[in-house]
């Protein structure tokens, strides 16, 4: 690849299918944060998120010869990570965690940092109470900004089902997080 930086991820995947490992390296560099973010938000475990993200890219590398760019690469990656997270969560019971990423706002005073960390912990705890598909729909929509169509594709449901998952999740989260809106 002559100019990997300017190439769309879908084109990079086609280059990977042809054996171009520098194209695969570029895909990983571009999308590793997305993979980790989805897995972490869903699982609430940094180490498991790292494992899921790595496994997702290994699966993508293995599937490169069969890759067909029918959706954006971001949607494709989200689907792979979603499947891995759902499988992981079904094998292991999710646990609450106190190991949330540190809040880094250099301009905030100590009280605001503590409040932000407590809010983050409350949100993560509330997410963990949701059914698996609802939790993944929330993570993909509100933390990663995917559209309903992309969420449906990633989870493997219809657009209407994705919409219902989000509505049910909001209903479940509202009483758990209402105190955050009052502050």
Q: What angle do CA 89, 73, 39 make, to 5 degrees?
A: 20
**Domain range enclosing 43:** 4-182
The answer to whether residue 4 scores a pLDDT higher than 60 is no
How far is 159 from 148, CA to CA, in rounded Å? 6
Q: Give the per-residue pLDDT at 113.
A: 73
Read off the CATH number of the domain in which 163 is found: 1.20.140.160
Q: Give the per-residue pLDDT at 55.
A: 97
- Summary mean pLDDT of the chain: 86
In 3D space, the residue among 110, 30, 43 whose CA is nearest the CA of residue 77 turns out to be 30
How far is 123 from 135, CA to CA, in rounded Å? 11
pLDDT tens, 59-100? 999 999 999 888 889 999 999 999 999 999 988 754 555 555
Structure tokens at 62: 């293995």
More confidently predicted of 181 and 151? 151
Confidence of residue 2 (pLDDT cuts 50, 70, 90): very low
**Length of the chain, please?**
183
Structure tokens at 68: 């067909």
How far is 15 from 11, CA to CA, in rounded Å? 6
Q: Give the per-residue pLDDT at 65.
A: 93
How many domains does the chain fold into?
A: 1
Backbone angles phi, psi at 40, to 5 degrees: -65, -45
How far is 130 from 141, CA to CA, in rounded Å? 15
Residues 6 or more apart whose CB falls under 8 angstroms from that of 18 comprise: none
In 3D space, the residue among 87, 77, 85, 90 whose CA is nearest the CA of residue 150 turns out to be 77
Give the range with max mean pLDDT: 49-53, 91-95, 118-122, 173-177: 49-53
Q: Once rounded to an integer, what is the mean pLDDT over residues 131-148? A: 92
Structure tokens at 130: 């949701």
Claim: this prediction has a pTM higher than 0.85: no
More confidently predicted of 1 and 36? 36
- Percentage of the chain modeled with pLDDT above 70: 85
pLDDT tens, 8-40? 999 999 999 999 999 999 999 999 999 999 999
């Amino acid at each position: 690849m002559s100019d990997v930086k300017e190439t769309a991820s879908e084109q990079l995947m086609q280059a990977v299918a042809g054996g171009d490992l520098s194209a695969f390296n570029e895909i990983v560099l571009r999308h590793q944060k997305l993979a980790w973010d989805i897995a972490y938000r869903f699982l609430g475990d940094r180490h498991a998120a790292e494992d899921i993200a790595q496994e997702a890219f290994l699966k993508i590398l293995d599937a490169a010869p069969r890759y067909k760019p029918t959706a954006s690469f971001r949607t494709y990656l989200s689907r792979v990570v979603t499947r891995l997270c759902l499988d992981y969560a079904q094998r292991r019971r999710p646990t609450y965690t106190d190991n949330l990423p540190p809040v880094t706002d250099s301009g905030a005073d100590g009280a605001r940092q503590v409040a932000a960390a407590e809010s983050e912990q409350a949100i993560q705890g509330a997410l963990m109470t949701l059914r698996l598909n609802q939790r993944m729909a929330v993570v993909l929509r509100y933390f990663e900004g995917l559209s309903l169509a992309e969420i449906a594709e990633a989870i493997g449901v219809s657009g209407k089902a994705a919409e219902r998952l989000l509505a049910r999740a909001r209903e479940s989260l509202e009483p758990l997080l209402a105190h955050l809106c009052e502050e």
